[in-house]
């Protein structure tokens, strides 16, 4: 049983579902918690990634961290009791990940965490709490990079529970990059000609604080005098822009605000950008593989391999720092690299680990309790 709740989860689970289907030894169930319920952030992704319609949609919707996590637990428990899956796969670090893992663990159902071991070492980030707790509950920890293995070892997690498989997000990118490129001629007709900076911004620390958001807006205005800025606006960010007169009328032609983009359209925008300014985790990975300059407006990252092996750099979130970082990066030649096992075959390695005939390779897991007494 795969449990997804937010857009990054879909990108990670899609290649695993494809790989398991190729094995022919699995019955798969897809549960969508409904954490991302906007069609632009959910339905279109399922279509483009070639994922089946979810077997079950819990329709949880938005809410505080506590309410959302609790509601996923309340609604997924009867689903887990009904199907009693041999494995519950939970990807990433969103509230749905933690909620599904905790519920399955309490029922004695084996949990596999996809993208395990990542750490920002910043407990002010809700995602960090979700990552740490999920890793310590899961039976099988599927890591995307060697630093993730080291993090788990430092936390005392038994090595037999950890399997380095590579980055499943890159599997999706490799498979669908040709489809994204096929869309580029149509997309490019709607954009300013020549090089551009692509911006994504959605983390609470950057958009919920009015002063911090103003710093970003001012930086984009200045950057747009050098290069056009393409800014697909996340619903969270758009809510904080209401009531503002932005962008200034003098820069409308060089500051392009777009609706949230589908996976394929955004991948095409990334692949052709001169530079990406982001606060997203997945974008750091995708730009690393694509060899596109990336500036991450955060004080830390749970994906340090993108700093040491890729094109990513951490930058401050104040306007002067952002402007200087963009101009500095544009004057340098990027030296991209691809981390180990970011090769488009991570999902196949996961399928091999989970295959019934290969259970001897997977970590020993607890036996499910009698569900009647759970």
Q: Which residues are catalytic?
A: 202
Token pair belonging to 239: 């809510």
Q: Give the CA-trace dihedral at 172, 16, 94, 236, to 10 degrees.
A: 30
Which residues, at least 6 apart from 193, have a Cβ–Cβ distance to it below 8 Å?
none
Q: Is 336 helix (H, G, I), strand (E, B) or coil?
A: coil
Ramachandran angles phi, psi of 272, nearest 5°: -105, 5
Token pair belonging to 97: 């990940």
Going by DSSP bridges, is the β-strand pair 255-258/111-114 parallel, antiparallel, or unpaired? Answer: unpaired
Q: Are 372 and 345 within 8 A, CB to CB?
A: no
CA 263, 13, 36, 342 torsion-angle sign: negative
Q: Are 343 and 171 within 8 A, CB to CB?
A: no
Q: Are 322 and 296 within 8 A, CB to CB?
A: no
Query: Does the bond joining 101 to the residue before it have cis omega, within 30 degrees of 0?
Result: no
Q: Are 93 and 115 within 8 A, CB to CB?
A: yes
Picking from 99, 101, 144, the residue whose alpha carbon sits closest to that of residue 119 is 144
* Distance of alpha carbon 174 from the chain centroid: 16
Q: Are 374 and 108 within 8 A, CB to CB?
A: yes
- Which pairs from 266-269 meet CB under 8 Å and 24+ separation? 266/232, 267/173, 267/176, 267/177, 267/180, 268/180, 268/181, 268/183, 268/184, 268/187, 269/187, 269/198, 269/230, 269/232
* Distance of alpha carbon 157 from the chain centroid: 24
């Amino acid at each position: 049983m795969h449990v997804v709740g937010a857009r990054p989860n879909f990108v990670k689970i899609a290649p695993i579902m494809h790989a398991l289907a190729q094995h022919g030894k699995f019955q798969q169930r897809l549960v969508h918690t409904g954490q991302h319920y906007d069609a632009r952030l959910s339905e279109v992704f399922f279509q483009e990634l070639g994922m089946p319609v979810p077997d079950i949609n819990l329709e949880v919707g938005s809410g505080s961290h506590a309410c959302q996590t609790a509601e996923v637990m309340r609604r997924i428990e009867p689903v887990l009791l009904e199907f009693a899956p041999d494995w519950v796969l939970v990807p990433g670090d969103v509230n749905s990940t933690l909620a599904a893992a905790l519920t399955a663990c309490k029922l004695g159902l084996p949990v596999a965490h996809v993208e395990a071991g990542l750490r920002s070492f910043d407990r002010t980030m809700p995602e960090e709490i979700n990552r740490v707790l999920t890793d310590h509950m899961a039976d099988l920890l599927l890591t995307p990079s060697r630093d993730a293995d080291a993090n788990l070892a430092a936390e005392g997690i038994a090595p037999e529970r950890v399997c380095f498989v590579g980055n499943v997000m890159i599997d999706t990118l490799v498979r669908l990059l040709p489809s994204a490129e096929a869309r580029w001629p149509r997309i490019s007709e709607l954009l300013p000609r020549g090089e551009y900076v692509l911006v994504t911004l959605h983390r609470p620390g950057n958009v919920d604080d009015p002063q911090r958001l103003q710093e970003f807006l001012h930086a984009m205005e200045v950057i747009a005098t050098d290069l056009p800025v393409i800014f697909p606006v996340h619903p969270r960010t758009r809510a904080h822009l209401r009531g503002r007169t932005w962008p200034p009328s003098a820069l409308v032609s060089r500051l392009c605000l777009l609706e949230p983009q589908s996976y394929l359209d955004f991948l095409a925008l990334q692949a052709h950008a001169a530079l990406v300014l982001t606060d997203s985790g997945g974008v750091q990975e995708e730009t690393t593989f694509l060899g596109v300059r990336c500036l991450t407006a955060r004080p830390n990252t749970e994906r340090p391999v993108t700093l040491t092996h890729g094109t990513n750099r951490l930058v401050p979130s104040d306007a002067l720092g952002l402007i200087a970082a963009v101009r500095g990066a544009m004057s340098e030649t990027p030296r991209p690299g691809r981390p180990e096992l970011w090769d488009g075959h991570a999902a196949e390695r996961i399928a091999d680990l989970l295959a019934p005939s290969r259970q001897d390779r997977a970590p020993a897991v607890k036996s499910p309790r009698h569900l009647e007494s759970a």
